[in-house]
């Protein structure tokens, strides 16, 4: 970006932040009616422009399966708004908290308050959902919100900025920071809370920038999410469900299964069933409208390099077509790829794949997947397939991950009453539903002291009164 344009963008960003900051400090806390009005405007904006969002996102990708945008983005956002609006007044109500006997007849209350200004740095892979879902929670909590969409989805970002500007005052909700190079400045603003969704590498940079202001952060990152196929599993069913979870959005999903581990004697059968499921869902033609393109040429080349590296180290590559084929490459669609014999020295097992490549690894025992997972960074998601409750519970109790779906993939993410969040290198903090409301609220503890109380017995000068009170406190402790 030209330096003068960069300076102007930075100045505009700073001015917008300080406007929202002043409003958050100088105006009354938004009422339930005001918050519901903002949520309703957001819902109307999304519902009335569903087709435009779908077209913009598809244009940014090169091709995005329309049904994927509808189900994974539009309907998810509309459902989140509906759920939040229904529950909002209860979430906003101060909650009575138990008061210990020695402080009776005093009482405790936990009062949720808006933090102030919330910043959201959104990724490109699900641009509508991962931009607006955290914004819904932040708005419900009564905050002012600034959102920075990804530079990789410029058509979507500009459309969102246009529609938000028409529906909201920029002191309520604003889309900004679309220009290249503005992300670092956005992350360095002293928000009251900052949420970032993206890669672990960039997450570290964002955390460092936020840390200079002691800005609380929620990081929704990625990593290598395993799928474990127990020997008690129905292999055909597991293959179909793993194929769907892996290839939705062409694998460009942070919670997609990154690799599969299963008994070594089942590898060949599972791989054949996986290929069969892939062929049934997507065929072998690059023109298939149900199959989504890779976001950029750079990302396509990265996937090619991962496959080439795996092959050079002895892996067996199963593909319905070559990614170098003109029809696939010109459409930027990477053929679904199964990788057999993946090992630790291969790059495909060292970094998050974020594409339609699936290593399938044979294991000698049920302990091996647990040991492997525990020897690496904690994943954002874990998937377990089987019918042996004891084997399932051994995996769930002995591994730590952001979330789990049993006998399927992805669907823990869609549960509005469950938190979504990573752990360790896969993230920190959580949102969705009430969990998001709490993330973007200050839950302020309040103690109401009654007129009659033993608390003055704590005051000096100390003497017989404090001795009696100390004896009571010891008894109650």
% of the chain residues with pLDDT over 90: 87
Domain covering 226-421 in this structure, CATH number: 3.40.309.10
* pTM of the full structure: 0.94
Sign of the CA dihedral 187, 189, 190, 192? negative
Vertex 362: Cα angle to 358 and 363 (nearest 5) = 130
Q: pLDDT tens across 431-458, in order?
A: 999 999 999 999 999 999 888 777 777 7
Query: To the nearest whole number, what is the mean pLDDT of the chain?
Result: 94
- Does 180 or 68 have the greater pLDDT score? 68
Host H or E run for residue 340:
strand 337-340
pLDDT over threshold 90, residue 18: yes
pLDDT over threshold 60, residue 6: no
Per-residue confidence band for 147, with pLDDT thresholds at 50, 70 and 90: very high
CA distance 103 to 163: 53
Burial group, residue 357, by CB count within 10 angstroms (0-12, 13-18, 19+): buried
CA distance 197 to 22: 27
3-state secondary structure of 213: coil
- Does 457 or 407 have the greater pLDDT score? 407
pLDDT over threshold 60, residue 202: yes
pLDDT over threshold 80, residue 3: no
Per-residue confidence band for 423, with pLDDT thresholds at 50, 70 and 90: very high
Q: What does the pLDDT average to over 316-325? A: 93
Q: What is the pLDDT, as a whole number, of residue 454?
A: 72
Per-residue confidence band for 184, with pLDDT thresholds at 50, 70 and 90: confident
CA distance 334 to 341: 21
Homologous superfamily, domain 3-221+428-442: Aldehyde Dehydrogenase; Chain A, domain 1 (3.40.605.10)
pLDDT over threshold 70, residue 1: no
pLDDT over threshold 80, residue 4: no
Give CATH 3.40.309.10 domain extents, the chain: 226-421
Give CATH 3.40.605.10 domain extents, the chain: 3-221+428-442
Per-residue confidence band for 11, with pLDDT thresholds at 50, 70 and 90: confident
Give the β-pairing of 144-148 and 226-229.
Answer: unpaired
Per-residue confidence band for 429, with pLDDT thresholds at 50, 70 and 90: very high
Annotated catalytic residue 220: yes
Q: What is the pLDDT, as a whole number, of residue 463?
A: 79
Q: What does the pLDDT average to over 244-265? A: 97
DSSP state of 456: G
Q: pLDDT tens across 59-88, in order?
A: 999 999 999 999 999 999 999 999 999 999
- Which residue is catalytic, options 68, 172, 179, 220? 220
Annotated catalytic residue 254: yes
- Which residue is catalytic, options 73, 179, 254, 409? 254
Q: What is the pLDDT, as a whole number, of residue 327?
A: 94
CA distance 439 to 118: 11
Neighbouring residues of 432: CB distance < 8 A, sequence distance ≥ 6: 80, 133, 137, 415, 416, 418, 419, 420
Q: What is the pLDDT, as a whole number, of residue 2?
A: 57
pLDDT over threshold 70, residue 180: no
């Amino acid at each position: 970006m030209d330096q003068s344009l960069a300076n102007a963008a930075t100045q505009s960003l700073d001015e917008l932040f300080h406007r929202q900051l002043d409003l958050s400090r100088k105006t009354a806390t938004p009422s339930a009616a005001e918050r519901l009005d903002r949520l309703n405007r957001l819902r109307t904006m999304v519902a009335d422009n569903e087709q435009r969002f779908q077209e913009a996102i598809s244009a940014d990708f090169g091709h995005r399966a329309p049904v994927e945008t509808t189900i994974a983005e539009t309907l998810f956002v509309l459902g989140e708004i509906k759920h939040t609006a229904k529950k909002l007044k209860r979430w906003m109500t101060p909650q009575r908290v138990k008061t210990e006997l020695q402080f009776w007849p005093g009482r405790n209350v936990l009062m949720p308050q808006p933090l102030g200004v919330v910043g959201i740095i959104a990724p490109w892979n699900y641009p509508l959902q991962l931009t607006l879902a955290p914004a819904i929670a932040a708005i419900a909590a009564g905050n002012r919100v600034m959102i920075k969409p990804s530079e990789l989805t410029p058509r979507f970002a500009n459309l969102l900025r246009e529609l938000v500007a028409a529906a909201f005052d920029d002191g309520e909700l604003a889309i900004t920071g679309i220009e290249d190079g503005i992300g670092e400045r956005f992350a360095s603003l002293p928000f009251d809370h900052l949420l970032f969704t993206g890669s672990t590498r960039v997450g570290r940079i964002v955390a460092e920038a936020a840390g200079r202001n002691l800005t609380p952060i929620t990081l929704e990152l990625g990593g290598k999410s395993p799928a474990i196929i127990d020997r008690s599993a129905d292999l055909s069913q597991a293959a179909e469900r793993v194929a769907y979870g892996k290839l939705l959005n062409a694998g460009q999903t942070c919670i997609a299964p990154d690799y599969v581990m299963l008994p070594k004697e089942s590898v060949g059968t599972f791989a054949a069933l996986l290929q069969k499921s892939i062929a049934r869902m997507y065929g072998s033609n690059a023109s298939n409208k149900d199959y989504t393109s890779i976001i950029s040429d750079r990302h396509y080349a990265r996937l090619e390099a991962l496959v080439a590296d795996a092959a050079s180290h002895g892996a067996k590559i199963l593909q319905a077509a070559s990614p170098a084929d003109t029809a696939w490459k010109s459409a930027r669609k990477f053929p679904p790829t199964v990788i057999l014999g993946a090992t630790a020295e291969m790059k495909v097992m060292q970094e998050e794949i974020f594409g339609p490549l699936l290593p399938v690894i044979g294991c000698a025992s049920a302990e091996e997947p647990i040991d492997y997972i525990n020897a690496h960074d904690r994943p954002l998601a874990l998937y377990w397939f089987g019918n042996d409750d004891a084997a399932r519970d051994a995996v769930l109790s002995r591994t730590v991950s952001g979330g789990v779906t049993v006998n399927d993939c992805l669907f823990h993410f869609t549960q509005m009453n469950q938190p979504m969040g990573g752990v360790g290198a896969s993230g920190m903090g959580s949102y969705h539903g009430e969990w998001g409301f709490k993330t973007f609220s200050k839950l302020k503890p309040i103690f109401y002291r009654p007129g009659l109380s033993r608390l003055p017995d704590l005051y000096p000068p100390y003497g017989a009164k404090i001795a009696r009170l100390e004896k009571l406190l010891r008894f109650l402790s």
